[in-house]
Amino acid sequence: MTDPIRPTDDEARRLARDLLDAATFAALGVIDPETGAPFLSRVALACDAEGTPVSLISSLSAHATALRANPEASLLVGEPEDRGDPLTHPRLTVQARAVSIARDDPAFAALRDHYLALRPKSKLYIDFGDFYFIRFEVQRGFLNGGFGKAFRLTPGDLTR
Amino acid sequence: MTDPIRPTDDEARRLARDLLDAATFAALGVIDPETGAPFLSRVALACDAEGTPVSLISSLSAHATALRANPEASLLVGEPEDRGDPLTHPRLTVQARAVSIARDDPAFAALRDHYLALRPKSKLYIDFGDFYFIRFEVQRGFLNGGFGKAFRLTPGDLTR
């Protein structure tokens, strides 16, 4: 068996960072607290001032319940074009630990302003009492740039 | 806290089934065998003759390694349009148990023909020795039809 992973280079780091910066949403994977099995959902995404991915979620959602029980999470970003084989389009997996930034957290107000500037449509729900932020502290990344172009990434590789 | 889940009706069942039938790819969530944390990737998707989701994957991939260790998986299908808030677009979460259909499995040949007819571009790699099928035996589903339109689904609700 040949190792399909290539050595990480600056082009891979740049592509991974671009995918993260461009993402307005992501697939989020969490551990289902009832079964221990993976559970996927779609969440809004943006990067905070330091380039760390954040999401604005509702405490009523299944993924919020799951992350309260187990903060281990994974994100997938990088959406295929309408045409062509979707598996040739680059995508980035992030494995991260989810940290809650509640509405009464001192960091909430600044993050709210930053997020609202990036995602103006969120004004429809950002001030609802059940919405709060999750910051995804990156543990590792995995970039798939298309068939045979896979790279492992450290948190440092993903720094902006 | 109000329960944001609505009673499942035929419209929800139809929408969920349509999302599954239309998907050419999915986000796949598995348990990372090294860390026990979720790990997401993108996989090709189609439904077999019975309507069960299947994927053609490489045994060299990280998700293949993970599924050999733990067959619990989750899929997310239903891609947002280019415009508008991506969270208003319907999407379907499936939790499933992954069953391998190896190249020497008696079911392989018929599934290969069925898949190739649905996904002709897969002819580029379907006959590579490291590719095989995963059939996702549905355990439960979760449909999000947009804000406030969430439904829990049984395997029966997702039958074609």
What residue ranges do the domains of chain B occupy? 5-81+88-149
**Alpha-carbon distance B68 to A125, whole Å?**
41
Closest residue in A to B42 (Cα–Cα): A87
C-beta atoms of A95 and B39 within 8 A: yes
B30 touches A85 (CB < 8 A): no
Please compute the mean of the pLDDT values over residues A67-73 and round it to a whole number.
98
DSSP state of A120: G
Q: What is the DSSP string of A38-103?
A: EEEEEEE-EE-TTS-EEEEEETTSHHHHHHHH--EEEEEE-PPPSSS-GGGS-EEEEEEEEEEE-T
Element (H, E) at B43: strand B38-44
Core vs surface per residue A103-137: b (16+ CB within 10 A) or e: eeeeeeeebbeebbeebeebeeebeeeebbbbbbe
Q: List the single best residue of B24, B40, B72, B131 to mutate versus A (max A Cβ within 10 A).
A: B40
- Nearest by CB to residue A38, choosing from B4, B74, B78, is B74
Cβ atoms A18, A145 nearer than 8 A? no
- Quote the pLDDT of residue B147: 73
Average pLDDT across each block of 10 residues of chain B; the chain has 160 residues. List them in order: 80 96 96 97 96 96 97 95 79 98 98 97 94 98 88 95
A76, A19 Cβ separation under 8 angstroms: no
- Residue A109's pLDDT is what? 98
B24 near B119, Cβ under 8 Å?
A: yes
Would you state the pLDDT for residue B3?
64
Neighbours of B100 (CB within 10 A): 15
Mutate to test the interface with B, among A40, A91, A136 (most CBs of B within 10 A): A40
- pLDDT category at A84 given cuts 50, 70, 90 is confident
pLDDT in tens, A38-55: 999 999 999 999 999 999
Q: Is B81 helix (H, G, I), strand (E, B) or coil?
A: coil
pTM recorded for the entire structure: 0.96
- Contact present, A150 and A6 (Cβ < 8 Å): yes
Assign A104 a pLDDT band (cuts: 50, 70, 90): very high
Question: Nearest C-alpha of chain A: how many angstroms from B160?
Answer: 22
* Closest-approach residue (CA) in chain A for B90: A42
B29 and A25 within 8 Å at the Cβ level: the answer is no
Which residues does chain A have within 8 Å of residue B125's beta carbon, measured at their own beta carbons? 147
CA distance B47 to B119: 11
The CATH number given to A5-153 is 2.30.110.10
Q: List CB contacts of B76: < 8 A, sequence separation 6 or more.
A: A27, A40, A41, A42, B26, B27, B29, B91, B92, B93, B94
Q: Residue A1's pLDDT is what?
A: 44
Mark yes or no for CB contact B72/A38 under 8 Å.
Answer: yes
Q: Please check whether residue B117 is in contact with residue B43, taking contact to mean a CB–CB distance below 8 angstroms.
A: no
The CATH architecture annotation of domain B5-81+88-149 reads Roll (2.30)
Measured between beta carbons, which residues in chain B are less than 8 angstroms from residue A29? 27, 29, 38-40, 74
Complex ipTM: 0.95
Phi, psi of B18 (to 5 degrees): -65, -40
